[in-house]
Structure 1
Amino acid sequence: MLRPAAGAMPVVVPGAHCFDVPRDNGGVYRVMIAVPEGPPPAAGFPVLYHLDGNAVFASMVEALRIQGARGLATGVGPGIIVGIGYAVDGPFDRLRRTLDYTPPADPATLGERPDGGEWSPTGGAEAFLEVLEARVKPMVAGLAPVDPARQALFGHSLGGLFALHTLLARPCAFARIVAVSPSLWWNGGSLLRELDVRHASLPATRARVMLAVGGEEEPPETPGEDPHAARRRAHRLITNARAFADRLPAEVFRILPGENHGSAVHAALGPALRFALPAVP
C-alpha cells in the first residue's frame, strides 16, 4: 500500500461533485457531476450523461476541460458531464451494470459470459432508464441551468447496448446518443430485429446517433488463439455495429484502428465529445 509522503494531497477532479441516489431495491447509484466554470449559455448548459461513471468520469471531464476551452479549434463546446456509477472502489460493479444495462433476454440465447462463467441477473434496463429520467435528470437540472434540448447519452459495451435500447424505447429522451462497442449480440441480436420492426415508427425528432467500435474487436481466426478471441469474433461486434448504423441510419459510424474492446472507450472520447457537445450546435 502506498504511504503518502508528508504534505501529499489527494487528486481531485476540478469542479466535480459526487452524489448518492438511492435505488428502489437498496443501495445507491453514485452520480458524479462536473459543471463548467463561467456563465451558462442563454438556453442553459448541454449535458452529457455517461454510464460506467467510476471508470470513465475523470477521463471524460479532463478531455472536455482541455477541448472545450478551445472550441474553435477542437469543435467541442462546454457542457455538464454526468457520470452514473456505483458505490464501489473499483471501475465497475459487474453485477449491477449487467442488470441495469440489459433488456430482458432468453437465458438460452446468452451462452457463457464474455469473461467466462455464468450470468448474474439481467433485464433491468427499463427500470434503470426510469431512474435516469425521473431522478438523475431532475437532480442535474436543480444544480445548474440545463438546456433540455441538448442532452446526450454515452455508453460502452453493455452500456452501448443500453444506449441503443434507449433510442428505441424512448427515441426522444436524449438529443444525441453515442454507443461504443455496443453488445448487440445480446439475446441473439434482438435489438437489431427490434430496430427493423420499429424503424418506420421512429419520429423525425429521434436522437442523432454515433456508433464506434475498435478495429481489433472482431479478430480473424488464427491457429492456437485463446478462447477470448474466439468469443469476441462470435459476437461480431464490428459487423453488428455497422449493420445497426446502416439500418438506422446513424449520423456517424467510426472504426477506431488498433483498438480492442477495453481500449475503445477511451479512444472514442474525442470523437464522442465533438458529436455530443459540438461547439456549434
Structure 2
Amino acid sequence: MGSNKTALTVYVTDGNALAMTASDNLKRRKPVDPSQPDTLVVGIGYSLTDSIYAWTQRSIDFGAPIPGDPTPIGVDDFLDFIGDSLRPWVQQIIFPEVNFTRDALYGHSSGGLFATYALINRPQMFDTFIAASPSLVLRNGTIMANVTRLLGDGMGIPGEVDFEFDGQNTTKPAVFLAYGSLEEFPQRRRTQNETQFWARRAILQRSRLGSLTHELYDRLVGSGKMRDVVIKEYPGQDHAGVGGSALMDGIAYFLDW
C-alpha cells in the first residue's frame, strides 16, 4: 500500500491457522472485482509450535477456559492489546500514510466466542463482527444472557452498554454469524462404527453450535442495536470446514458495506 491510500482492515484471530486463508481470498477476489477496496489482513497468532493452535493461550485470550483447567480469563486484556497496542502499531508505525477507515474482527469456534464477547462489551470497537461457529456453550453459557443484559431486548430491557461512537468506527456494528449443518447433527463417517458415531454425536450435540448461533441471532436482532445481522448455515460442513468458508463469506459481507 502506497501513500494517500484508503484501506480496510480485517483482524483475524487464530492467525497461524487462518490469516493466510483470508489473505489468499482477498488476492483471488481483486482480479475479478477491481472495485474491491484495498484491505489489510492482520493475523493475530502465537509463537510457532508443532500446532497451529496455541490451546492454552487462546483459551486465556478468548475467554474460553478449558473445562477443569484453572486457566485465568484474559479476554479484556486481549481486547485492550488489540485496541491500544496492535491497531496503533499497524496504523501509525507500519502504514502511517494509509487512511484506515472501517475494520472487522473475525473469530472461529472459541474465537467466535471472543468476537461475540467483543461485540456485546465493546460494540464501537469494530465496524463488523464475524463469528463463525461461536462456542457459546463455554463459560456455562453465560454470554447468551449477557447479550440481552448488555444490549437490551428492544422492549423493556434497555441494555447497559454505552453506544457512543467516538473512535474510528462511527456506526452501529454489522454482524455475520455462521455455522455448519453437521456441527450439531453429524453424519456417520465411513470409518466409524455405531458406538463411535453415537459417542461423537453426543459430544457435538452438547456444544449446540447451530441452535445457540440461531439464538444469538434472535437476541441481536431483538436488541435493535445492530446495523445489520445475518446468519448463514453451511449445509454439509463440519466445524473445521466452517472456519474457512465463513471467513471468506464474512470478508465479502464486510467489504460490501
Q: Normalising by structure 1, what TM-score?
A: 0.74
Residue 55 of structure 1 and its aligned partner are, at CA, apart by 0.4
Does structure 1 residue 227 correspond to structure 2 residue 203? no
SS at the partner of 1:248? helix
| Cα drift, residue 211 of structure 1 | 0.4
Structure 2 equivalent of residue 214 of structure 1 = 180
Partner of 2:127: 175
Residue of 93, 98, 104 corresponding to 2:54: 93
Cα distance in 2 for residues equivalent to 1:148 and 1:40: 10
CA distance in 1, matches of 2:4, 2:131: 27
* CA spacing shift, 1:66–1:38, aligned 2, 3 Å: farther
Note if contact 1:160-1:180 (Cα within 8 Å) is conserved in structure 2: yes
Shift of 1:275: 1.3
Match of 1:71 in 2: 33
Aligned residues: 228
Alpha-carbon distance, 1:69 to partner = 3.2
Deviations 1:196-243 (A, max 9, x none): 112233538332111001111101698532533211101110000011
Deviation readout 1:218-276 (Å, 9 max, x if unpaired): 01698532533211101110000011011102521000111111111112132111112
Aligned residue identity for 1:101: F
Q: Is the 8 A contact 1:159 1:182 kept in 2?
A: yes
How far off is 1:182 after superposition? 0.3
Indicate whether 1:260 and 2:243 are aligned. Answer: no
Alignment partner, residue 168 of structure 2: none
Amino acid at match of 2:214: R
- Give the distance between the partners of 1:40 and 1:275, measured in 2 at CA: 25
CA deviations 1:160-183 (Å, max 9, x no partner) are 000010011111000001000001
- Tell me if structure 1 keeps the 8 A contact 2:147–2:220: yes
- Conserved in 2, the CA contact under 8 Å of 1:47 and 1:147? no
Which position in structure 2 is the counterpart of 1:48?
10
Structure 1 residue 91, shift from structure 2 partner = 1.0
What letter is aligned with 1:242?
Answer: H
Distance change in 2, residues 1:232/1:195 (3 Å):
same
Partner of 2:156: none
Give the structure 2 partner of residue 192 of structure 1: 144
1:92 maps to a residue whose letter is Y
Identify the structure with the greater helix proportion: 2
Percent identical among aligned pairs is 27
Q: For 1:81, which of 30, 38, 41 is the aligned residue?
A: 41
1:192 to 1:148, Cα distance in 2 relative to 1, 3 A? farther
Task: Tell me what 1:140 maps to.
Answer: 90
Q: Which residue of 1 aligns with 2:191?
A: none
Q: Secondary structure at the match of 1:238?
A: helix
* Structure 2 partner of 1:270: 248
- Partners of 1:58 and 1:120 lie apart in 2 by 32
> For the Cα contact (< 8 Å) 1:184–1:191, is it kept in 2?
yes
Check the 8 A contact 1:51/1:85 in 2, yes or no.
yes
